[in-house]
Amino acid sequence: MSDLDPYNHVNNGSQCNYFDMGRSRYFEHVFQTKIDWLTFKYVLVHVDLDFRHPVLFHDPIVCESRVTEMGNSSFKMEQCLKDAETGEVKTLCHAVVVYFDREANKAERIPDEEREMLINESKKMANGYGLWQLKLNGKSKFL
């Protein structure tokens, strides 16, 4: 698979990778630690994408991420790829992430401490502090 199609649009699969990177950085920000993928217990179980405008090769793109709804063993996330200069939303992503016991092969309740971290970050965003943003050609930051 190529990163670009014949029209110089960033491939849909590559955009999925951008959202994966955005989620990963978001988790590192919220949990204040580097993710060890061999032990990390959160797994993506659903994703849907809405391609609103093409992402072109040289577009200055950022990925913004936030948790929108919290359940017992899962939460919903909303992410978007945006033009960093114009603010135009290029692609929207809705995802469901589950806290998962790999050995038992089933979902588990999100630990209270981690739930509180996710909720606190969501409250910051609800109070107008912004979104977690990953610059795809630079550094991550909280807006």
Q: Tell me the pLDDT tens digit for each residue of 20-32.
A: 999 999 999 999 9
Given a cut of 50, is residue 143 above it in pLDDT? no
CA geometry: angle at 12 spanning 11 and 18, to 5°? 95
Confidence at residue 142, expressed as pLDDT on a 0 to 100 scale: 47
Helix (H) / strand (E) containing 92 = strand 89-101
- pLDDT tens for 24-65 read 999 999 999 999 989 999 999 999 999 999 999 888 899 989
Given a cut of 50, is residue 130 above it in pLDDT? no
Please report the domains of the chain, with CATH numbers, ordered by start residue.
Answer: 12-142 (3.10.129.10)
Task: Single out the residue of 118, 135, 104, 132 nearest to residue 75, CA to CA.
Answer: 118
Cα–Cα distance, 81 to 65 (Å, whole number): 9
Cα–Cα distance, 91 to 85 (Å, whole number): 15
Cα–Cα distance, 110 to 142 (Å, whole number): 24
Instruction: Assign 115 a pLDDT band (cuts: 50, 70, 90).
Output: very high
Question: Bigger pLDDT: 56 or 124?
Answer: 56
Spatial neighbors of 111 by CB under 8 A, at least 6 apart, are: 99
- pLDDT tens for 71-106 read 999 999 999 999 999 999 999 999 999 999 999 999
Strand bridging mode 132-135 / 61-70: antiparallel
